[in-house]
Structure 1
């Protein structure tokens, strides 16, 4: 299954009610055949702009990030079910990108510029693009370009 990040904005409410809403959200994922990998509370903060949902205007929200594995066919039904929930202000599901492997080149980058491989490659490219200069022994008795 693919790993997804579900960003949920809940309305501000007491901890007991928030726990029941989180339980309801998690059970929805479990019912659709998903597995929750991580649940992260990002805190309660002001929203970037006022949002009107279910006839109420919200300026503050409780932010939660849920990392889960869910079959891709159930994403639309999850969004639909969360959209009908009165306690959820905003919901978004992102596909989590796997971190790419890279080779550490710190020891090469700490060298002085003339010794770095990428700088040497740039110098080679620049030398290929050098334009030919005027040769004074071309048989002309004058310099064709004004000085």
Structure 2
């Protein structure tokens, strides 16, 4: 299963209500077949702009990042649940950069079969030697 980061912005709620809302989100993810690896709270902050959700304006929100492993279909299957939950302002699935890009090491110039100039020069030299043009 691919690994994702789920970025959530929740309404500015009291702590017990916020805990209940996060329990609902995590339990729904688990019911859909996801594996929750970690959860990080980034705290309550003022939103960068006024956000509309469920016919209400929001100026503050709690930011969360959930580290999950889930099937590729989960992103589409969980959207209706997130749209119904009135405590969620925004959600976004992210493929982390440490999974997207694998480190690449340069091992020197490419000398394979399709190397642009190196093969051509070698075959040209062999051909010239064969024809007796260059010794």
TM-score of the superposed pair, with normalisation by structure 2: 0.72
Task: Specify the SS of the correspondent of 1:13.
Answer: coil
* 1:102 Cα deviation after fit: 5.2
Match of 2:125 in 1: none
* 1:74 Cα deviation after fit: 1.7
Provide, for residues 24-46 of structure 1, a one-character-per-residue CA deviation record: whole Å limited to 9, x for no partner. Answer: 00011100111001100011001
Q: Which has the higher contact order (CA 8 A, sep 6+)?
A: 2
Match of 2:89 in 1: 89
* 1:71 Cα deviation after fit: 0.7
Counterparts of 1:56 and 1:66, CA distance in 2:
25
CA-atom RMSD in angstroms: 1.8
Match of 1:23 in 2: 23
* 1:96 Cα deviation after fit: 2.4
Match of 1:101 in 2: 103
TM-score of the superposed pair, with normalisation by structure 1: 0.67
| Matched residues, number | 105
Counterparts of 2:81 and 2:94, CA distance in 1:
17
Provide, for residues 77-113 of structure 1, a one-character-per-residue CA deviation record: whole Å limited to 9, x for no partner. Answer: 112211111000111111224153356xxxxxxxxxx
Task: Specify the SS of the correspondent of 1:72.
Answer: coil
Question: Any stretches of 5+ residues in structure 2 without a counterpart?
Answer: 106-135
Task: Specify the SS of the correspondent of 2:73.
Answer: helix
Structure 2 counterparts to residues 56-71 of structure 1, below 5 A? 56-71=56-71
Runs of 4 or more off by more than 4 Å in structure 1? Answer: none
Say whether residues 1:52 and 2:69 are aligned partners.
Answer: no
Counterparts of 2:29 and 2:102, CA distance in 1:
27
Structure number with larger C-alpha Rg:
1
Contact 1:11 1:61 in 2 (8 A): yes
Question: Any stretches of 5+ residues in structure 1 without a counterpart?
Answer: 104-147
